Amino acid sequence: MSEFFPLRQSGNKNYCALCGFSASFAVSFYMKIRQFYIELTFHYGALINAYGKARQPDKAREVFDDMTAKGLKPNETIYGALVNAYGQAGQPEDAEKILRNLPEGLNLSSQTLGYLYNLVIKGYGRANRVEDVNRLKEEMLQKGLPIDVYTLGATGSVYDRMGTLNDETRSLRSREAEQWKELATLFGDVVHELNQPVGAIGLGVSTVKRYFEKGDRGNTLKFLEKLRLQVQFLGERMQVYKALTERSNAEETHRVSDMVSGVEELLRHYAEKAHVRIDIQITDDNKWKQALYLRGDKFLFQMAIRGLVYNAIQACSEESIPLERRHIIIRGIFTPSRPDEQSVAPYGWVDIYVRDEGPGIPPGIRERIFERGFSTKKGRGLGLGLTLAQSVAEHYGGRIVLMPEIATGVEFWLRLPAAPEP
Amino acid sequence: MKVIIIDDEASFADSLKDLVQVEGYEAEVYHTLKQAREGLEGADEPMVVLLDHDFRDVGEKDQVGYDFCGWLRENHPFGLLLPIIYLTGRETTEHFLKQQRDNPFVHPSAYISKDQLASDQELLPNLLKQYQEQFERIRELSEKQGVQQALIGFRDMEPEDSNYYEAE
């Protein structure tokens, strides 16, 4: 027997060649079957996708049912194709039903689940269902699913098509940029902030004077050094404001991420004091390979962004807002312009979204928030921040929109014409 | 007499503490209202409290300056006579008087802005001196009259008794 199936020696283990042959045959057979199933699944997926593109979701469903009847397990791509089929055919409710009834065993990553959500959002977007688009976007935020450029692109498109004019959304009237005098009033808050280090320096001078009068040389020198450090700190703060107020040439191009960082630095003190976290997500690395740039007066752009972020900090600072909700997200994305927008935004749009998780804006007040002098801050706000942001947006041919149907907090969308990378 | 400084602006509070100390008073600094409540629980000595009016502490719903002021007056034996100074530049005379009338327990002894404190070098030393003299007078009164009310009788006083306070 051993001459036909000679025993091989390998280290300390002996095994039969026939057994080795059988095993390799079994592995090869398994691999072929597996490959067959993978290819079959792929072909089913392609078929569902094709029916989806042909806007025949019922046919796509038939193929899907046939596939499952044969014992094949649809993967996330197949589910995506089916969801998309219903979405493209103008049946987003059916697309959502599939999303809601995904089998438990799929074990989807948050990225994949986000992808499926985006397909449903896209479907609702096609059907101009603004409320549903926002509802799902909110749900994504609640579940911690990644909101990416595709989600925002889908929501942006639907607002575009809807003209952003319904009861809940305020597209804003055209208006000249506010006068400089009014811009300057916003600096009342800057003065308030500088009051702290200036106050500390004033007290420090009194302390040094007292020690000097007492003839206490050691403490006089000690507190003089402390005073020097306080003056240095004040100088550093002044640099931040100086950078903000430097008027730039109207033809200069500015990187959005730099401007947003500048605003964050300007407001960091307020944010830290109120325990508010600020997340900045500027997607310079997008599928259009368009880093975000704006052309014009940097001061005006930063004042517009500042107005939105400052309001968000104020909203999060409300006494009733717990620590975990003291959070602001500033998102910046690129959106290509439509053919009819080429004259205003030949290089596309820069969309900046400022989102907070504060108490939100009551329905009765939503209509009034862009009015000059209107403030919900009980005497503390000047009521000019949003009006100025609106003026700046419209000055450059953009706009500002209060996003409707936000479950928690408020989101403003600032749209400005993009500039090419210098 | 001790001076209590409650302000979340660390650099300002620190400078204020330096000045108070060079004037010869003991100073204690708290950066959160929670810390202040813990530190001042059961305090009964004469003290002046300098409280940042715009103070907002996280975690406890009632931890705003006014509530803290009320809590302190209700718990400290000096009650309404405890000098509590709000550091703010935002209040008006009208509001000051209204608050004095409506709710004396959360009404401060004075409103002072931080820039006033910084620019007027004599303001804080004079205020502290004045309050020290006031404490002295209270002590003398209590010794002479032997009446508890002269020293600490304000603890059980209702806010409606503001006529008494105004007469003072």
- Residues A391 and A12: their CA atoms lie apart, in Å, by 84
Cβ–Cβ contact B56 with A under 8 A:
yes
Which pLDDT score is estimated for B4?
96
Q: Are residues A290 and A155 in the same domain?
A: no
Q: Are residues A153 and A279 in the same domain?
A: no
The model's pLDDT over B95-129, given as tens digits with 9 standing for 90+, comes to 667 766 777 777 788 888 888 888 888 899 999 99
Q: Which residues of A touch B (CB under 8 A)?
A: 195-207, 209-211, 214, 219, 223, 226, 230, 233, 273-275, 317, 319-320, 323, 326, 380
Q: Are residues A157 and A257 in the same domain?
A: no
Q: Are residues A156 and A266 in the same domain?
A: no
pLDDT band at residue A169 under the 50/70/90 scheme = very low
Helix H or strand E segment including A362? none
Q: Are residues A288 and A153 in the same domain?
A: no
pLDDT at B6 over 80: yes
Q: Are residues A288 and A411 in the same domain?
A: yes
The verdict on residue A389 lying in a domain is: yes
Q: Do B117 and A202 touch (CB under 8 A)?
A: yes
Residue A263 dihedral angles phi and psi, to the nearest 5°: -65, -40
Q: Do B118 and A223 touch (CB under 8 A)?
A: no
The verdict on residue A117 lying in a domain is: yes
Q: Do A206 and B121 touch (CB under 8 A)?
A: yes
- Residues A345 and A37: their CA atoms lie apart, in Å, by 49
The verdict on residue A221 lying in a domain is: no
Least-confidence region, from A226-235, A264-273, B137-146: B137-146
Q: Do A203 and B58 touch (CB under 8 A)?
A: no
| SS3 labels along A282-348 | ECCCCCCCCCCEEECCHHHHHHHHHHHHHHHHHHHCCCCCCHHHCEEEEEEEEECCCHHHCCCCCCC
Q: Are residues A266 and A410 in the same domain?
A: yes
Q: How far is CA A361 from the centre of its chain?
A: 20
Q: Are residues A263 and A137 in the same domain?
A: no
The verdict on residue A212 lying in a domain is: no
Helix (H, G, I), strand (E, B) or coil at B149: helix
Chain B residues close to A317, C-beta within 8 Å = 56
CATH number of the domain that residue A376 is part of: 3.30.565.10
Least-confidence region, from A171-185, A279-293, B11-25, B27-41: A171-185
Q: What is the four-CA torsion angle of A138, A142, A143, A148, rounded to 10 degrees? A: 50
The verdict on residue A279 lying in a domain is: yes
The alpha carbon of residue A248 is apart from the nearest alpha carbon of chain B, in Å, by 33
Q: Are residues A137 and A270 in the same domain?
A: no
CB atoms inside a 10 Å sphere around CB A263: 25
Q: Do A196 and B114 touch (CB under 8 A)?
A: yes
End position of a domain, from candidates A123, A146, A162: A162
Q: Do A273 and B8 touch (CB under 8 A)?
A: yes
Q: Which domains does chain B have, with CATH numbers?
A: 2-167 (3.40.50.2300)
Q: Are residues A139 and A268 in the same domain?
A: no
Q: Are residues A143 and A270 in the same domain?
A: no
A246: closest CA among A198, A254, A232? A254
Domain count, chain A: 2
End position of a domain, from candidates A128, A162, A196: A162
Chain A residues close to B118, C-beta within 8 Å = 198-203
More confident residue, B16 or A37: B16
**Closest by Cβ to A198, choosing from B59, B90, B118:** B118
Task: Write out the residue range of the structural domain in which residue A73 sits.
Answer: 20-162
The verdict on residue A205 lying in a domain is: no
Residue carrying the six token digits 């003398």: B140
Which pLDDT score is estimated for A147?
67
Least-confidence region, from A33-42, A181-190, A325-334: A181-190
ipTM: 0.74
The model's pLDDT over A371-416, given as tens digits with 9 standing for 90+, comes to 654 555 443 344 457 777 888 888 888 988 888 767 788 899 999 9
The verdict on residue A148 lying in a domain is: yes
The verdict on residue A25 lying in a domain is: yes
- Mean pLDDT, range A50-66, rounded to an integer: 87
End position of a domain, from candidates A162, A185, A215: A162
CB atoms inside a 10 Å sphere around CB B163: 8
Q: Are residues A257 and A398 in the same domain?
A: yes
Cβ–Cβ contact B47 with A under 8 A:
no
- Residues A84 and A62: their CA atoms lie apart, in Å, by 15
